[in-house]
Amino acid sequence: MTLRHPIRIPGITELPVSGAGMRIGLFGGSFNPVHEGHRLVVEETLRRLDLDALWVLVTPGNPLKDHKELAPLADRVLAARRLLRHPKVRVTGFEAAHGFTYSWQTIRFLTQIMPDRRFVWIMGADNLVNFHRWERWREIAEMLPMAVYVRPGSSRLAPTSLAASALARWRIDEEDAPRLAMLPPPSWIYLHGRQSTLSSSAIRAQTRHFDAK
């Protein structure tokens, strides 16, 4: 198992409080930086999946991405808390405290220590396109239900991606979204709805452009 050196930051890396039976969405990412597109996904999935809570998991760093422009974890967590203000949303960098590198490690940990919670993995359609490149992606699908939210530029590629095709028989209809958290894995849904053209990489590129002037 690949682990990072654990980093504990008071007020940043603690696990959110929850209770037995809660339906909890897990929305992971670098959030470098967080933006309105992230807030849209949070608001839409909270409502349509009928979740009791949504945990925004700010990662120490995505193994598939370049970390040269990665802002400090605490800065990203605090920025996400400012933007994603909602009574049901909790933003945490708890993965750093356990040295987790991959999503499957996080998911296995949470489902094992809290088997009485109903976790749902949430990701954008752009991630579904590359989901087959994730470490142990099939195991992730077998550990908890997943909700995929449409993203500009991925609406055609995502539903026909390698992972989507492999998991096709476990896809449920959008009208059944409120039931997803209660379904046994593997089960997943593709949600259409409001979209934002914003992306973290585009924002960073724009920042570099202005800094260069």
Which pLDDT value is given to residue 4?
80
Taking the C-alpha atoms of residue 161 and residue 149, their distance in angstroms, rounded to an integer, is: 14
- β-pairing, 53-58 vs 89-92, is parallel
Which pLDDT value is given to residue 141?
98
Q: What is the CATH number of domain 23-212?
A: 3.40.50.620
In single-letter form, the type of residue at position 88 comes to K
With a cut of 70, say whether residue 203 has pLDDT above it: no
Q: What is the DSSP string of 137-206?
A: HHHHHHHS-EEEE--TTTTTTGGGSHHHHHTGGGEE-GGGGGGGGGSPSS-EEEE--------HHHHHHH
Sign of torsion, CA 103 153 38 77? positive
Which pLDDT value is given to residue 56?
98
User: What pTM did the predictor assign?
Assistant: 0.90
Which pLDDT value is given to residue 67?
59
**Cis omega before residue 33 (within 30°)?**
yes
Which pLDDT value is given to residue 66?
60
Which pLDDT value is given to residue 58?
97
Tokens of 183: 């379904």
- Give the tens place of pLDDT for each residue, 100-152: 999 999 999 999 999 999 999 999 999 999 999 999 999 999 999 999 999 88
Which one-letter DSSP state was computed for residue 71? P
- Give the tens place of pLDDT for each residue, 153-187: 888 899 999 999 999 999 999 999 999 999 999 99
Taking the C-alpha atoms of residue 166 and residue 160, their distance in angstroms, rounded to an integer, is: 10
Which pLDDT value is given to residue 127?
94
**Domain range annotation of the chain:** 23-212
With a cut of 70, say whether residue 204 has pLDDT above it: no
Structure-token match 């909790």, residue found: 90
- Give the tens place of pLDDT for each residue, 4-59: 889 999 999 999 999 999 999 999 999 999 999 999 999 999 999 999 999 999 99
